[in-house]
Amino acid sequence: MFITKHDVTDALKEVIFFARQDNIVNLDMVDDIEIKGNDVKVTIVFPKLDDPSVGIIYNAVGKKLKEKLGEEVNVDVKPVSEADKGRGPLAGVKNIVAVISGKVGVGKSTVAANLAVALKKSGNSVGILDADIMGPSVPIMFGVEGERPGVMDREGKSVMVPLENYGIKILSLGFFVQPDQALMWRGSMINNAFNQLMTDSEWGNLDYLVIDMPPGTGDIQLTLAQSYNIRGTVLVTTPQKVATADVRRAAMMYRQDKLQIPLLGIVENMAYFTPQDMPEKKYYIFGQGATDELAEELDIPILGRIPIVEKIREAGDDGTPVSLDDDSPVSQAFLDIASNVRKRVAML
C-alpha cells in the first residue's frame, strides 16, 4: 500500500484530545509527518509532556493509523512540548498562577486583581484572565466593564487581543455576557470558552498570567490543571473554620497524583478589622487560628493577611484596585504577597 500524508492526516482527524474537545489535526497538534514505505513517524505537540493525555494520544495515534492504513504499518509517535517548539499561544507566558478558593464570598477576585497590580508595580509584565463563570467581576475591578477585546489575525486565524488597563492585559468571560444574563452553560461549553480565552488570544510576552478561578472543584479547574503548564496556585480563605474547610478540599484537588500542581501558599482575607480612629486595635471578627492550622497541615506558608478595609470595596467598585494607591497600607500588604509569590515561584 502506498501511504500519503493525506492518508495519515485523515486518520489522525479521528484522534481526539479530550482536554480541548477536538481532534489533534484541527488543534494544530500534528507538527510533522514522515513516511518511508510502511514506516510512519508522527510528531505531536502537547502543551506539556507530563500530562497523562500524552500516553493516551500516543496509543490512540498508533491504533488509529494501523486501523486505517493496515496492520503492516510501523508507527513511531514523537511527543514534543509547545515550549520545545517555541510555539503555542502561551509560549511567551513565563508563569501561570491560579488564584483559587473553596467557596464564594471570600474575596478571591479581589485578591487576584490586586495581586496582578502588585506584580506589575514590582516591575513584571502581567496579564489577568477572569475565568470565574459564577461571577466574572474583573471587568468591574479594572474599570473596563462594557468594553470588548480587539481581534487580530494570527497565522490565518482570528484571535482576541486582551484589553489593557494600568499596564495589565485583561480578558474575562464577563466581556461576552450581558450583565442581566443568567449563564446556564454545561461543562463542555464552559471548557470551550475557557480554552478560547487561554489559547485563542494574543497574550504576548508576560512574566505572570494571573487566573481568577471559579470557586470549588469543577470543570474549569480540571481543564486548567490537565491542559496547561501551571506554576502554582494561591489559596484564598477567610479565618473562619467553614471557609478553611472548603479551601482545604480545593487544595487537595491540586495535590492528586494526576495533577501535582504546587500550592504556593495561602492568603487570609478579612483577617481582622482596625478602626481608623484606633489604629493600634485589631478586632478578629471572623476568629483566629484556622488559617494557621490549615497552612501547617498543607505544609505551605501564609503569603499574607488582608484586613477588612472599606477602601478595598470602594476601590474595586470604582475600577481602581486598592493596590494602585501607594499611600494605602493595604497596598503594601499586597506588595508583600506579590513578593512572597515571586519567591515561591523561584523555588520551584
pLDDT tens digits, 9-59: 999 999 999 877 789 998 888 989 999 988 999 999 887 777 788 899 999
Same domain membership, residue 191 and residue 275: yes
| CATH number for the domain that contains residue 224 | 3.40.50.300
Provide the pLDDT for residue 302.
Answer: 96
Q: Outline where 228-272 has alpha helix (H).
A: 241-253
229 neighbors 236 (Cβ within 8 angstroms): no
Same domain membership, residue 152 and residue 10: no
Which of 59, 85, 111 terminates a domain? The answer is 85
The pTM (predicted TM-score) of the whole model is 0.77
Same domain membership, residue 223 and residue 120: yes
Same domain membership, residue 269 and residue 229: yes
CA angle (321, 99, 171) in 5-degree steps: 60
CA angle (208, 159, 92) in 5-degree steps: 30
Q: How far apart are CA 169 and CA 163, in angstroms?
A: 6
Which of 64, 85, 106 terminates a domain? The answer is 85
What is the residue whose three cell numbers read 513584571? 124
Same domain membership, residue 248 and residue 104: yes
Same domain membership, residue 130 and residue 10: no
| CATH number for the domain that contains residue 33 | 3.30.300.130
Q: Per residue in 205-222, pLDDT tens?
A: 999 999 998 887 766 777
142 neighbors 113 (Cβ within 8 angstroms): yes
How many CB atoms lie under 10 A from the CB of residue 275? 10
Same domain membership, residue 142 and residue 39: no
For residue 269, give the C-alpha cell: 482575607
Provide the pLDDT for residue 87.
Answer: 64
Which of 85, 105, 137 terminates a domain? The answer is 85
Same domain membership, residue 169 and residue 65: no
Q: How far apart are CA 177 and CA 105, in angstroms?
A: 21
Same domain membership, residue 315 and residue 244: yes
Same domain membership, residue 239 and residue 180: yes
Residue stretches of the chain with pLDDT short of 50: none
Segments forming the whole domain that contains residue 327:
93-347
Same domain membership, residue 289 and residue 322: yes
Same domain membership, residue 216 and residue 186: yes
Q: How many domains would you assign to the chain?
A: 2
Q: How far apart are CA 7 and CA 26, in angstroms?
A: 15
Cα dist from 150 to 68, 159, 202, 250, 254, whole Å? 42, 8, 10, 34, 33
